[in-house]
Chain A
Amino acid sequence: GNSVTQMEGPVTLSEEAFLTINCTYTATGYPSLFWYVQYPGEGLQLLLKATKADDKGSNKGFEATYRKETTSFHLEKGSVQVSDSAVYFCALSEEGYGGSQGNLIFGKGTKLSVKP
């Protein structure tokens, strides 16, 4: 079945360091891919998404490119801040365009801690 695998955490970085959180997926068809973020005490929030191969999602300095050839959607940020400390979840939507997007398949989450 469809699944998402993301790198185990926790990840601890110093401010202004480069961030990569790896995410790979297994899916039939043409899933949409997402990164969600959960700040302490808050719900999951959509960070960015990509709906087809080679699309790049970006938001708040974070980027991820939908790579069909490597079935990956790695999250990157060039210079992290303390305020980026959160748990990051990679997810896919089984249906792709126009289908029921609600039943997302998530990875386990990666906790990021950024030190000043």
Chain B
Amino acid sequence: EPEVTQTPSHQVTQMGQEVILRCVPISNHLYFYWYRQILGQKVEFLVSFYNNEISEKSEIFDDQFSVERPDGSNFTLKIRSTKLEDSAMYFCASSNRQGNEKLFFGSGTQLSVL
């Protein structure tokens, strides 16, 4: 079965540094998402992306965050100036159409901000 690939699996960074989390969605999918899970807390929706623009975002997704689809295969999440509270597992997901209830998730990137 096709899968969503995320890299790196672990990322350690210093507070204030920029990080880019990378995702390769399934090739024929058109809708892309980022979620995160802070340790011990719920998986939270961050942003959805379609047709090269953000279609929806949560309150968490402030000006420090941005997403990009720089080419035909990658989907990235950038955190401009990391804070301690950004430490979390970040999940990328994709689906092939809006209204399709089956999201395919990657295995996540564990971000640790020191």
Contacts of A36 in B (CB 8 A): 105
Is the CB–CB distance between B107 and A99 below 8 Å? no
Q: Which of A46, A93, A99, A108 contacts B41 (CB 8 A)?
A: A108
How many residue pairs at the A-B interface have CB separations less than 8 Å?
Answer: 76
Is the CB–CB distance between A108 and B56 below 8 Å? no
B30 to A: closest C-beta gap in Å:
11
With A102-B33, A103-B45 as known contacts, state yes or no: A43 contacts B108, CB within 8 Å. yes
Q: Which A61-116 residues sit within 8 Å CB-CB of chain B?
A: 89, 91, 93, 97-109
Cα(A104)–Cα(B37), bound, Å: 13
* Beta-carbon nearest neighbor of B49 in chain A: A102
**1/0 contact trace for B25-36 toward A, CB 8 Å?**
000000101010
Contacts of A46 in B (CB 8 A): 101-103
Contacts of B55 in A (CB 8 A): 100
With A93-B101, A98-B99, A100-B55 as known contacts, state yes or no: A44 contacts B91, CB within 8 Å. yes
Tell me if B100 counts as interface (CB < 8 A to partner A).
Answer: yes
Cα(A104)–Cα(B55), bound, Å: 14
Cα(A9)–Cα(B95), bound, Å: 29
Is the CB–CB distance between B48 and A102 below 8 Å? yes
Residue of B4, B31, B43, B102 with highest tally of chain A CB at under 10 A? B43
Binding site for B on A (CB under 8 A): 4, 32, 34, 36, 41-46, 49, 51, 89, 91, 93, 97-109
